[in-house]
Chains A and B, each alone.
Chain A
Amino acid sequence: MVMLVFAGAVHAQAIEPMPFANHAQELRFQHLTQQLRCPMCQNETLADSNAPIARDLRNQIFKLMQQGRSDDEIKQYLVARYSDYILYNPPLKTGTVLLWFGPLLILLGGGGVVLVALRKRKRQGVEATTVGESADNGEDW
């Protein structure tokens, strides 16, 4: 916990202060930049990254905010230039269907396999209890 607080303090210093109009805008900026991915270092958010391009994009987002653009408009602005890669939350479209529903498919598939295996074991258990017992011992992992 102490480490977390400390890490936060270091971060706050790594990123240059910006002249926000008010605290709400600052929170909005932080929230928005945390949902966006740095194009140079793709495992970091724009909020966290210290890469020059991340700094430029933060400044640009700040500028667009001062112009009164909404979060969605800012996201659109970035997607038009840097593609969906800039978003940590990928939009649902034909290319990303598998990404969104793949885990559900795997869960259903795995659930099906377990269900079949359980039924099989139950049937075997009814037919011959002694065999079922020894099989259970061998498979308790």
Chain B
Amino acid sequence: MNRLLPFIGFMLLVALFGFGIWWNTQHDPNAIPTPLLNKPAPAFNLPKLYEPAQTVSKTDLLGQPYLLNVFASWCIECGVEHPVLEAAAPTLGVKLVGYNYKDAPADAKGWLAAHGNPYALLIADESGQTALDFGVYGAPESFLIDAKGVIRYKHIGPITPDVLAAKLKPAIAAMLKEAP
């Protein structure tokens, strides 16, 4: 028994490291859980991307749920996510609102012209100031906000087909079931 002790200790370490590797494949270690989950979304008042003279506020969007998708033309991962959003937008069940983050309006418009525009509404946060209230620290990030303006789900990183099927769609379904 005593001779086996170092071996058992070694196997315990192997198990620990194996668990660590497995855990990191299941979780994104860089994703910060938002403290805003199930809390009212922060108030905002931002210009529309295509009509900067008009602004959109949080209260304007109350009454129907929407997916707020933070994107930018400089964000490479957003290009990965974009075709998925375009394909999913018509059947998503909620309005898709584009949140253009820290981007020059001309760059954003050029990017949308090249990649397509799946958004029902586009707002622009050129300085990134409002995004701080949302706890945004990169792009893409997506917030599912219900009709009462409460954040129901947040995804950090690109929405892949897997994320869409396994997380986003169930979150939308659960939200719509509760308050159609």
User: Can you list, as one digit per residue, whether each of A51-86 has a CB less than 8 Å from chain B (1) or not (0)?
Assistant: 011001100100000000000000000011111010
- Nearest Cβ on chain B to A107's Cβ, whole angstroms: 17
Question: What CA separation (Å) do A42 and B137 show in the bound complex?
Answer: 11
Is B133 in contact with A81, judged by CB distance below 8 angstroms? yes
In the assembled complex, which residues on chain A have CB atoms less than 8 Å from the CB atom of B129? 56, 60
In the assembly, what is the distance between CA of A79 and CA of B32, in Å? 11
Looking at chain B's contact residues, is the secondary structure mostly helix, strand, loop, or mixed? loop
Q: Are B132 and A60 in touch, CB under 8 angstroms?
A: yes
Given contacts A82-B137, A85-B32, 4 further A-B pairs with CB under 8 A are: A39-B138, A57-B132, A60-B129, A83-B35
The reply on A40 being an interface residue by CB < 8 A is: yes
Instruction: Looking at the assembled complex, report how far the CB atom of A63 sits from the nearest CB atom of chain B, in whole angstroms.
Output: 10
Report yes or no: B138 in contact with A81, Cβ–Cβ below 8 A.
no
Question: Residues of B at under 8 Å CB distance from A?
Answer: 29-30, 32-36, 102, 128-129, 132-135, 137-138
Instruction: For the complex, give the distance between the alpha carbons of A79 and B36 in Å.
Output: 10
- B128 and A56 contacting across the interface, CB-CB below 8 Å: yes
A52 surroundings in chain B (CB, below 8 A): 102, 128
Interface residues in A33-61 (C-beta closer than 8 Å to B):
39-40, 42, 52-53, 56-57, 60
B174 to A: closest C-beta gap in Å? 23
- In the assembled complex, the Cα of A42 lies from the Cα of B33 at a distance in Å of 14
In the assembly, what is the distance between CA of A111 and CA of B37, in Å?
43
Residues of chain B within 8 A (CB-CB) of A80 are 35
Interface range, A side: 10 to 19
* Nearest-Cβ distance from residue A101 to partner chain B, whole angstroms: 19
In this complex, the member of B32, B102, B137 whose beta carbon has the largest number of chain A beta carbons within 10 angstroms is: B137
Question: Nearest-CB distance from A54 to chain B (Å)?
Answer: 9
If A40-B137, A82-B137 touch, whether A56 touches B35 (CB-CB below 8 Å) is no
The answer to whether A83 touches B33 (Cβ under 8 A) is: yes
Q: Whole-angstrom distance from the CB of B106 to the nearest CB of chain A?
A: 19
Q: Are A39 and B132 within 8 A (Cβ)? A: no
A49 to chain B, nearest CB (A): 11
Q: A-B pairs with the 6 shortest C-beta distances?
A: A39-B137, A81-B135, A85-B32, A83-B35, A53-B137, A82-B135
Give the shortest distance, in Å, between B80 (CB) and chain A (any CB). 18
15 contacts between A and B (CB under 8 A): A40-B138, A42-B30, A52-B102, A52-B128, A53-B128, A53-B138, A56-B132, A60-B132, A80-B35, A81-B36, A82-B32, A83-B32, A83-B33, A83-B34, A85-B33
Please give, as numbers and ranges, the residues of chain B lying within 8 Å of A56 by CB-CB distance: 128-129, 132
**B residues near A85, Cβ cutoff 8 Å:** 32-33
Q: Give the distance in Å from the alpha carbon of A52 to the alpha carbon of B138 in the complex.
A: 9
